[in-house]
């Protein structure tokens, strides 16, 4: 049982630091964004599982041969006042940390969900008053704003894609269609669930490099996935032109972002790429365009299978280490 | 008969256009005169509207924090909390914001762009 906790700890550290850094620098995710997205999800889930599992297994080591018997013994101590003398200070410390971390993660996930839903509801209420329905498609609204802006606001049956007057004026009909298909792809592929989960993870553990890298990569990958959907019906040149027009007319230069102010960011270290706000998302537009300009073939079938096998192993190994000894014993 | 959503919109349009606070009665009369933006038919939202309906709409808008009631006067007079432009700016602030917790609210076609990137893209378009 002891080596299990060490193995899980090593896995947790690997998934918290070197692995996400390597993956965020790798070139292949742009070639197979869907596979890369699965890998990020596996890393996040396995990272959390092994982090909590390592502490749990370490803390229960004196009272049980495996996780199951350890948890039974712990339940006895908590509910039946059985003596806790077997547990040393560090064991109790590890168990408390595991419990707190679990509660913190679940709580942050729910809190982020609530905050996002509230912001979306407010946004939707204002849209209903300020924007007018568009003739370009169902669930599409036009907002009277001069700069070219397009976005989608998820909300189940009330999901809506919003275009600005400036965007409609700047784009040709086929370019506008590419933008609409792109935004609708976000909605139909449920990208908001990924955005929510990774935003919550970053909120919960902002000091962990993996959470920022994961969120930025996921933000970038969903754009590539949506671009790929648009490319099925619109030409590459059309999409590139739409991206270039919207991006070059976009008001959100670093100066504009500073003027808008970001309460959560103001005290962050400006030398960190995340603190300027530009690194993740700015890199996104550049990598989207370069990916369209000089496309590279998707990962080969065996390589994709290997990545998927990695995802499966990442989830299976910590789960098996935690559960199998108890089931066998 | 217009839906509550359409009525809310029509009432807000009147309050944003008007200079001073209005009573529910005034708003009802204005709604009855209102013309359809496209075909110009009169009273498309407000024909035969009861004052209580206008009050319902106003209390919904008040709950959403969009209108405020002047205390002390009878009948109550209502006015918009912020201008249309301010509310549009509020939306744009949310759209253009790049704080991690805000990025998950909606998905933009183009995220934040740096000056360098915008420059490269303008060159790509052949504009300067």
Residue numbers of chain A with a pLDDT score lower than 50: 252-282
B32 within 8 A of B53, measured Cβ to Cβ? no
Spatial separation of the C-alpha atoms in residues A153 and A82, rounded to whole Å: 53
Spatial separation of the C-alpha atoms in residues B127 and B122, rounded to whole Å: 5
Which residues does A46 contact at the CB level (< 8 Å), separation at least 6?
Answer: A11, A15, A314, A315, A317, A318
Q: What is the distance in angstroms between the Cα of B100 and the nearest Cα belonging to chain A?
A: 6
User: Which residues are registered as beta bridge partners of A161?
Assistant: A140, A152
Predicted local distance difference test score (pLDDT) of residue A268 = 37
CB count in 10 Å sphere of residue A238: 21
Predicted local distance difference test score (pLDDT) of residue A1 = 67
Provide the 3-class DSSP secondary structure of residue B40.
coil
A29 within 8 A of A23, measured Cβ to Cβ? yes
Predicted local distance difference test score (pLDDT) of residue B31 = 87
Predicted local distance difference test score (pLDDT) of residue B12 = 94
Predicted local distance difference test score (pLDDT) of residue A204 = 95
Residue numbers of chain B with a pLDDT score lower than 50: 128
Spatial separation of the C-alpha atoms in residues A267 and B111, rounded to whole Å: 22
Spatial separation of the C-alpha atoms in residues A286 and A271, rounded to whole Å: 21
Residue with structure tokens 């509801």? A121
Predicted local distance difference test score (pLDDT) of residue A279 = 39
**How far out from the chain centre does Cα B95 lie?**
16
Predicted local distance difference test score (pLDDT) of residue A179 = 96
CB count in 10 Å sphere of residue A239: 23
User: Which residues are registered as beta bridge partners of A162?
Assistant: A141, A151
Looking at beta carbons, which residues of chain A come within 8 Å of B45? none
Backbone angles phi, psi at B35, to 5 degrees: -110, 155
The one-character DSSP state at B35 is B
Provide the 3-class DSSP secondary structure of residue A180.
helix
Provide the 3-class DSSP secondary structure of residue A163.
strand
* Torsion angle, alpha carbons of A265, A266, A272, A274, to 10: 20
Determine, for residues A285 and B117 on separate chains, whether the beta-carbon distance falls below 8 Å: yes
Spatial separation of the C-alpha atoms in residues A221 and A36, rounded to whole Å: 8
Among A113, A125, A288, the residue to mutate for chain B (most B Cβ within 10 A): A125
Provide the 3-class DSSP secondary structure of residue A290.
helix
The one-character DSSP state at A297 is P
Chain B CA closest to residue A227:
B109
Looking at beta carbons, which residues of chain B come within 8 Å of A123? 91, 94, 105-106
Determine, for residues B100 and A215 on separate chains, whether the beta-carbon distance falls below 8 Å: yes
pLDDT, tens only, B72-107:
878 889 999 999 999 999 999 999 877 777 788 999
Q: What is the distance in angstroms between the Cα of A55 and the nearest Cα belonging to chain B?
A: 29
Determine, for residues A203 and B87 on separate chains, whether the beta-carbon distance falls below 8 Å: no
DSSP conformation letters of A12-51 = HHHHHTHHHHHHHH-SGGGTSHHHHHHHHHHHHHHHHHHH
Determine, for residues A150 and B108 on separate chains, whether the beta-carbon distance falls below 8 Å: yes
How far does chain B reach from its first CA to its final CA, in angstroms? 52
Predicted local distance difference test score (pLDDT) of residue A153 = 96
Predicted local distance difference test score (pLDDT) of residue A167 = 94
């Amino acid at each position: 049982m002891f080596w299990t906790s060490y193995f899980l700890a090593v896995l947790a550290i690997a998934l918290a630091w070197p692995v996400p850094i390597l993956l965020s620098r790798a070139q292949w995710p742009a070639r197979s964004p869907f596979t890369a997205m699965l890998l990020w999800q596996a890393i996040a889930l396995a990272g959390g599982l092994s982090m909590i599992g390592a502490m749990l297994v370490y803390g229960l080591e004196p009272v049980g041969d495996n996780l199951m018997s350890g948890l039974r013994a712990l339940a006895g101590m908590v509910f039946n006042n059985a003596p806790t003398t077997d547990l040393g200070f560090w064991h109790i410390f590890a168990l408390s940390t595991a419990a707190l971390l679990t509660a913190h993660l679940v709580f942050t996930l729910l809190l982020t969900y609530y905050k996002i839903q509230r912001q979306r509801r407010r946004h939707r209420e204002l849209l209903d008053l300020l924007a007018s329905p568009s003739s370009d498609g169902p669930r599409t609204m036009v907002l009277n704003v001069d700069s070219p802006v397009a976005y989608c606001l998820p909300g189940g049956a009330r999901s809506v894609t919003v275009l600005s007057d400036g965007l409609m004026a700047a784009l040709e009909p086929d370019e506008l269609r590419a933008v609409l298909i792109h935004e609708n792809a976000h909605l139909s592929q449920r990208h908001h669930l990924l955005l929510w989960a990774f935003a919550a993870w970053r909120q919960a553990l902002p000091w962990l490099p993996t959470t920022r890298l994961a969120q930025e990569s996921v933000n970038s990958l969903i754009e590539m996935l949506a671009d790929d959907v648009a490319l099925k019906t619109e030409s590459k040149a059309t999409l590139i032109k739409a991206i270039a027009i919207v991006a070059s007319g976009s008001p959100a230069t670093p100066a504009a972002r500073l003027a808008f102010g970001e309460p959560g960011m103001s005290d962050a270290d400006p030398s960190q790429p995340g603190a300027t706000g530009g690194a993740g998302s700015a890199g996104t537009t550049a990598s989207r365009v370069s990916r369209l300009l000089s496309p590279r073939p998707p990962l080969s079938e065996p390589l994709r299978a290997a990545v998927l096998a990695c995802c499966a192993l990442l989830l299976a190994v910590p789960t098996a280490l935690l559960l199998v000894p108890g089931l066998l014993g | 008969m217009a839906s509550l959503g359409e009525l809310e919109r029509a009432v807000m349009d009147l309050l944003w256009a008007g200079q001073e606070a209005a009573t529910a009665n005034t708003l009802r009369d204005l709604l009855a005169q209102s013309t359809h933006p496209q075909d110009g038919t009169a009273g498309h939202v407000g024909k035969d509207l009861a004052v209580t309906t206008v009050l319902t709409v106003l209390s919904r808008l008040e709950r959403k924090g969009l209108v405020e009631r002047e205390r002390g006067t009878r009948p109550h007079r209502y006015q918009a909390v912020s201008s249309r432009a301010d509310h549009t700016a509020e939306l744009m602030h949310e759209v253009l914001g790049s704080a991690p917790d805000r990025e998950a609210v909606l998905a933009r076609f183009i995220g934040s762009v740096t000056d360098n990137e915008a420059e490269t893209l303008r060159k790509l378009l052949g504009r300067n």
